[in-house]
Amino acid sequence: MTLTSNIYPTRALQEADAAHHLHPFSEHRTLNAEGSRVIVAAEGVWLTDSEGNRIMDGMAGLWCTQIGHGRQEVVEAVHRQMQELDYYNLFFKTTHPPAVALAEKLAQLTPAQFNHVFFVGSGSEANDTVFRMVRYYWDLMGKPGKKHIIGRWNGYHGSTLAGTSLGGMKGMHEQGDLPVPGVSHIAQPYWYGEGGDMSPDEFGIWAANQLAEEIDRIGEDKVAAFIAEPIQGAGGVIIPPDTYWPEVARILKERDILFVADEVITGFGRTGEWFGSTFFGLEPDLMPIAKGLSSGYLPIGGVMVSDKVADVVINKGGEFYHGYTYSGHPACCAAALANLSIMENEKIVDRVRDDIGPYLQKKWIALGEHPLVGEARMVGLVGALELAPSKGDRTKKFANEGTVGTIARDTSFSNGLVMRAVRDSLILSPPLVLSHEEADELVRIAEKTLDDTYAILKRDGKVG
């Protein structure tokens, strides 16, 4: 880490933060005792903290900063928009130019069946919209019995009541007696962790068949939709075996059930295609989007609505009593438009598919040789390293799941690279503008992090 200037009063900021700020997804006693890391500036793939340390942003913020930090084109587009029209809503027969332009752009960029978008402020709001819209759709179709939604264990669809319920995070469910009624979950396609004796391909078929069984158990006439991330992000970058998605698609085609592909992470180039659905050849009916839509510069999301669903909502429905004050906020639309135009002009998605994606994947997969790594996987620019106490044996896990992951995550941070820990794996999802030199530096730090973590575990007798 390079020390530059320290112009921020770190200690005072930490104290005020501990005194007044409840953080998302944080355990406050430890956080307040240690003091939050204060991030004060960012440029490209680099963050600067209040002590002047430069840290590589290996998570693109929270899986969202596709174009990297600090792009002035976005700042200027938002500034211009705020001067012209700071805010107006889209309720009650009104619209405004940035919302129209962004809706048109999204219809063009998304797969052919999508020609309409419902704007929201976040991925969670997108999934709340999904929850209401699929039920509304089946009411309009004259099938009010179809209300049940199937999600997956360890899926993540946000943190609101609907998002938490559709997601399959058991810890989140336990806080507040969720999911809400009318939602159930099936096994995830996580071969490394749950594949048992099966080959990845066998396990992919098995996991897909859980969907068929769950639909049969509930009754096809009662199931409204199946929701899934093309690649589970927060669940630990779970890339399904090759056999999984074709089999799920086949099962859904045979049955009259809507398919919701949650593209909040996999959208906007993360896999080397504009959408994960294209990468895997999926044909969803609804597609929640957020994160990379604006590269996180301002909060905006949406639900892409296929012609099949939009036709019913528009032509059979009356007023859909749903919307947010900030649906399609003009400044957020301007940020998204500027972000998308950078992505198009600089051919960032092609670059992930043909250049930086393969470049980083090769080096990342090679980390799989490290004695601490049980599996290294990556698609596009999203990957994971499964840390294992005993190389080559997937059944052996570290005691107190999550402890080793946290040690490795903290080590990575002090070595100058933000990675995230999920269970005992390390997760990576860097900005899509990562250069070759930055990729080299990233892998160098990741390897040092593995060495350092291995040394700590060896010292403590936790690895063989």
Ligand X SMILES: *Cc1c(COP(=O)(O)O)cnc(C)c1O
Residues forming the site for ligand X (CB under 6 A): 122-124, 127, 156-158, 229, 233-234, 262, 264-265, 290
Would you say 158 or 357 has its CB closer to ligand X? 158
Strand pairing partners for 185?
A: 151
Task: Tell me which residue has its CB nearest to ligand X.
Answer: 123
Would you say 140 or 172 has its CB closer to ligand X? 172
Q: Please state the φ and ψ torsions of residue 225, each to the nearest 5 degrees.
A: -160, 160
Closest CA to 327 of 299, 305, 307, 306: 299
Would you say 263 or 424 has its CB closer to ligand X? 263
For the bound state, the minimum distance from the C-beta of residue 45 to ligand X, rounded and expressed in Å, comes to 20
Site of tokens 């860097």: 430
Would you say 304 or 388 has its CB closer to ligand X? 304
For the bound state, the minimum distance from the C-beta of residue 234 to ligand X, rounded and expressed in Å, comes to 6
Would you say 336 or 388 has its CB closer to ligand X? 336
For the bound state, the minimum distance from the C-beta of residue 291 to ligand X, rounded and expressed in Å, comes to 6
For the bound state, the minimum distance from the C-beta of residue 352 to ligand X, rounded and expressed in Å, comes to 18
For the bound state, the minimum distance from the C-beta of residue 167 to ligand X, rounded and expressed in Å, comes to 8
For the bound state, the minimum distance from the C-beta of residue 216 to ligand X, rounded and expressed in Å, comes to 27
Would you say 272 or 416 has its CB closer to ligand X? 272
Q: Exposed, middle or buried by CB within 10 Å (0-12, 13-18, 19+), for 198?
A: middle
Scanning 219-317, the segments in alpha helix (DSSP H) are 244-254, 276-280, 307-315
Structure tokens at 201: 């391909």
For the bound state, the minimum distance from the C-beta of residue 414 to ligand X, rounded and expressed in Å, comes to 26
Asked if the peptide bond before residue 179 counts as cis, ω within 30 degrees of 0, the response is yes
Structure tokens at 56: 């590589």
Cα-to-chain-centroid distance, residue 313: 28
Cα(207)–Cα(203) distance, integer angstroms: 6
What is the residue type of 267? G
Structure tokens at 118: 């419902």
Residues in the chain: 464
Would you say 49 or 262 has its CB closer to ligand X? 262
Q: Exposed, middle or buried by CB within 10 Å (0-12, 13-18, 19+), for 113?
A: middle
Q: Please state the φ and ψ torsions of residue 75, each to the nearest 5 degrees.
A: -55, -45
What is the residue type of 158? G
Question: Do 284 and 259 touch, CB atoms closer than 8 A?
Answer: yes
Would you say 124 or 295 has its CB closer to ligand X? 124
Would you say 158 or 168 has its CB closer to ligand X? 158
For the bound state, the minimum distance from the C-beta of residue 121 to ligand X, rounded and expressed in Å, comes to 8
Closest CA to 230 of 274, 190, 282: 282
For the bound state, the minimum distance from the C-beta of residue 247 to ligand X, rounded and expressed in Å, comes to 21
DSSP 147-182: -EEEEETT----SSHHHHHHS--HHHHHTTT-SPTT
Would you say 193 or 302 has its CB closer to ligand X? 302
For the bound state, the minimum distance from the C-beta of residue 27 to ligand X, rounded and expressed in Å, comes to 19
